[in-house]
Amino acid sequence: MWSMGILVWEIFSNAARPYSHVANDGVTALVQAGKYPDIPKLAGEFMTKIMKQLFKLNPSERLNAQMFYNEIHTHCKDNKYLSLEKLTTINKIEGVHRDRLEHWDGYVPQVVVYDKNGKEKDWEDAPAEMLANVVWREKAT
């Protein structure tokens, strides 16, 4: 999971090379001493906390994959990062609404639902967020 911290760091540092100021043989010593790259301010408070938890020297003190997923998922859900509720602009366009899209005699766009092992479990209505950029047009005859 330490390398997941580096991946997250690279995302917020615009793909910069971690420890770029240090020769390759010096990086190992820094990592073993618990030193991690300076976290970019762009990461914000939440992601800074996540990265610091991933960079813990003792692996048993780090977030594991499930904890990482839970933290990110909960944060995104609580802050509605994956929702269209904050995107009110689309509703200001005359004739355009982001309500559930139901067309063609009751047909509703569907998505496949998978279980935690990646096996297909079921089908359900596609969430409105997924349909934000879908344009419905009448078929040409």
Query: What's the mean pLDDT in 92-101?
Result: 53
Adjacent-strand bridge partners of 124:
111
pTM for the whole structure? 0.57
Q: Are residues 73 and 102 in the same domain?
A: no
Q: Which domain holds residue 97?
A: 89-131
Least-confidence region, from 24-28, 47-51, 101-105, 117-121: 101-105
- Residues for the chain: how many in total? 141
**pLDDT category of residue 53 using cuts at 50, 70 and 90:** very high
Per-residue model confidence (pLDDT) at position 126: 72
Q: Give the sign of the dihedral formed by CA 66, CA 68, CA 69, CA 74.
A: positive
Residue 60 within a domain = yes
**pLDDT category of residue 118 using cuts at 50, 70 and 90:** confident
Residue 127 within a domain = yes
Q: Are residues 67 and 11 in the same domain?
A: yes
Q: Are residues 70 and 100 in the same domain?
A: no
Q: Are residues 71 and 103 in the same domain?
A: no
What count of other Cβ atoms lies within 10 Å of the Cβ of residue 59? Answer: 9
pLDDT at residue 73 above 70? yes
